[in-house]
Amino acid sequence: MIVCTLQFGHALQHLLTTVYGLREYSAGLSFVEWDAVFICDFFMENWLYETFMLQKISKHYETKQPLPAEAIESIKRMRSHLAGYKLCKELYLSHLDLELHSSGMFWVPMMKRLWPKISYCLSKKGTFMFATLKLYGAVIGRPRISAKFGSR
């Protein structure tokens, strides 16, 4: 559903964007500032996670009852899962993009040089398991304790 919503936002931007001031009108992403290219996509994604929208598009498959408030809140909290990793990935891609356009270096050695600066846990061979062991245990253990004792 998320991908569908993102693509719908992207289609809306193509259909509804008009740039004035040129000899002819332009639409789509032509002459749109690159900072604004993904605004509709992420607006639609954020709208999808609003409580009223989640209630509107979801229901129990057998009883057809709307999802309980706890399930909706759980879905909303899920968005922050691995947020730090996702941010590091975006920082890495941004840094790589800037380097690709500002230096004459081939991209493979550039990637190998930049990745360890951004991702601390994947930078050395064999250290991945120990860097994420506590996080992995928390992720795996939480649903089990919640199922057993009904806590959150």
> How is residue 131 written in tokens?
């860097």
Q: How far is the C-alpha of 103 from the C-alpha of 119, rounded, in Å?
A: 22
- Give me the long-range contacts of 41-48 (CB less than 8 A, separation at least 24): 41/6, 41/7, 41/9, 41/10, 41/13, 42/6, 42/9, 43/9, 44/5, 44/6, 44/8, 44/9, 44/12, 45/2, 45/5, 45/6, 45/9, 47/5, 48/1, 48/2, 48/5
Average pLDDT over residues 62-89: 86
Query: What is the reported pLDDT for 43?
Result: 85
Q: How far is the C-alpha of 54 from the C-alpha of 48, rounded, in Å?
A: 6
Average pLDDT of the chain to the nearest whole number: 76
Regarding pTM above 0.75, the answer is no
pLDDT bin (cut points 50, 70, 90) of residue 152 is very low
Query: What is the reported pLDDT for 141?
Result: 54
Domain map (residue ranges) of the chain:
1-80, 83-140
Percent above pLDDT 70 for the chain: 72
Average pLDDT over residues 55-82: 88
> How is residue 123 written in tokens?
């930078």
pLDDT digits (tens, 9 = 90+) for 84-129: 888 888 888 888 888 888 988 898 999 888 888 876 655 555 555 5
Given a cut of 50, whether residue 57 has pLDDT beyond it is yes
In this structure, the chain runs to a length of 152
- Helices 83-102 and 107-118 sit at what angle, rounded to 10 degrees? 140
